[in-house]
A and B are shown apart, each in its own frame.
Chain A
Amino acid sequence: AQKVTQAQTEISVVEKEDVTLDCVYETRDTTYYLFWYKQPPSGELVFLIRRNSFDEQNEISGRYSWNFQKSTSSFNFTITASQVVDSAVYFCALSEAERYTGTASKLTFGTGTRLQVTL
């Protein structure tokens, strides 16, 4: 069975601070995808990044960066110079690699980390 753990329930930072959100996963699949989603108060899940299990290269996109370490089953997310607009709940998710039928695989989500950025 797949499992995603986000041990940090809530994090509060002051604007311009860097913040790292932790994610640890469990799966028996040898190929899989990892995701980060952002959920603002409006409720809609906003896709941030997808990483497949073959690609351990870390990625930076603007103020966001991701650190994928297969050896420790972790996929951590860092926001540099946080802003008030970053305040939201962030979810890490895991899925098996795409089926050969092409239909999407179910996502297994963690319980989320609420990030509060204040002035």
Chain B
Amino acid sequence: ETGVTQSPTHLIKTRGQQVTLRCSSQSGHNTVSWYQQALGQGPQFIFQYYREEENGRGNFPPRFSGLQFPNYSSELNVNALELDDSALYLCASSPDYLSYNEQFFGPGTRLTVL
């Protein structure tokens, strides 16, 4: 059983640029949630995708957007990057059957905005 994978591992961008981060969910999981973890902080919920549609969103501006594909992999897109967007971005996959909210996290993508 393949776990959650994310790419790239590290990324450096400059202010104003756009970035796309990718996540492949664990086999059999059709729900993907994205979290942002700033340095020294706990992860914060960005949004969740279920069956290719957004299914809940945290307190993040519209320049944070996402996609989910038929194979349940997902992308997080951030436009007009700001310095404060520098963080570790984590995705978590979960099944849609009752699983007591068990979510499996990937290793994360560390984004640095200069």
Contacts and interface: CB of A to CB of B under 8 A. Distances in A.
A33 B58 CA distance: 19
Interface string A100-118: 0111111111111000000
Name the interface size band of chain A.
20 to 34
B41 interface: yes
A91 B55 CA distance: 25
A110 B42 CA distance: 6
Contacts, number: 82
Contacts of A106: 33, 45, 48, 56, 58
A106 B19 CA distance: 24
Contacts of A43: 88, 90, 107-108, 110
B40 interface: yes
The main secondary structure of chain A at its interface with chain B is loop
A4 to B, nearest CB: 8
Interface string B3-37: 00000000000000000000000000001010100
Contact of B48 (A47, A103, A108): A103
B108 A44 contact: yes
A1 B108 CA distance: 26
Interface of A: 4, 33, 37, 42-47, 50, 52, 91, 93, 95, 97-98, 101-112
